[in-house]
Amino acid sequence: MSNKTKIIDVLDEVAQKLNSIELPIAEFIRDENIDIDSLNALVKANKGKKGFTYTHKKLNPQALIDANKNGFTVNVSCDNITELKNFHTMGLPVVMISNNPVKVEFINDVKMVRCPAEYSDKVNCEKCQLCADSTRDYGIKF
């Protein structure tokens, strides 16, 4: 089984778990803006857990900072190096696509670490948990 297949399987499991909880998830993902009430409900439901997600939504940086400080990691999916630098400087966890296969690189002065599940058959999202760490001082690249 390839690493991509493993990642897809984990994402399918996460989707099934999200569908089983009674939160307004559909409202959360319906439009371009982050629904603050739904985000707060996710933060509350995540208390004592290590939940994490990614977003390309039109951002409310303070809401994301608050969610991350309260234990629900929201990784900002950056589309370009300017976004990467800006959101990282705000203290938000960042992720980005990179064509560079090296494990560690600096993009616009931001340290970026390659997702370990992409190059190791022994690592998957459940075991790794790098994306769940909202306090990390580096971004994750895929």
- Do the bridges between strand 110-114 and strand 139-141 make them parallel or antiparallel, or are there none, so unpaired? parallel
Whether pLDDT at 23 is above 90: no
User: Which residues lie closer than 8 Å to 71 by C-beta, 6 or more apart?
Assistant: 43, 46, 47, 48, 49, 50, 51, 134
Q: What's the pLDDT at 90? A: 93
| In the predicted structure, residue 131 carries a pLDDT above the cut 70 | yes
> Comparing C-alpha atoms, which of 128, 53, 126, 124 is closest to residue 92?
53
pLDDT at residue 70 in the model: 93
**Which of the four pLDDT bands, split at 50, 70 and 90, describes residue 8?**
low
Of 119, 142, 101, the C-alpha closest to 2 is 119
pTM above 0.85, yes or no: no
Q: Residue 113's pLDDT is what?
A: 97
pLDDT tens-digit readout, 83-112: 999 999 999 999 999 999 999 999 999 999
CA nearest 83: which of 64, 108, 104?
A: 108
pLDDT confidence of residue 25: 45
* Whether residue 11 has pLDDT greater than 80: no
Rounded-to-integer distance, Cα 87 and Cα 78, Å? 8
> Are 77 and 52 a contacting pair, CB within 8 Å?
no
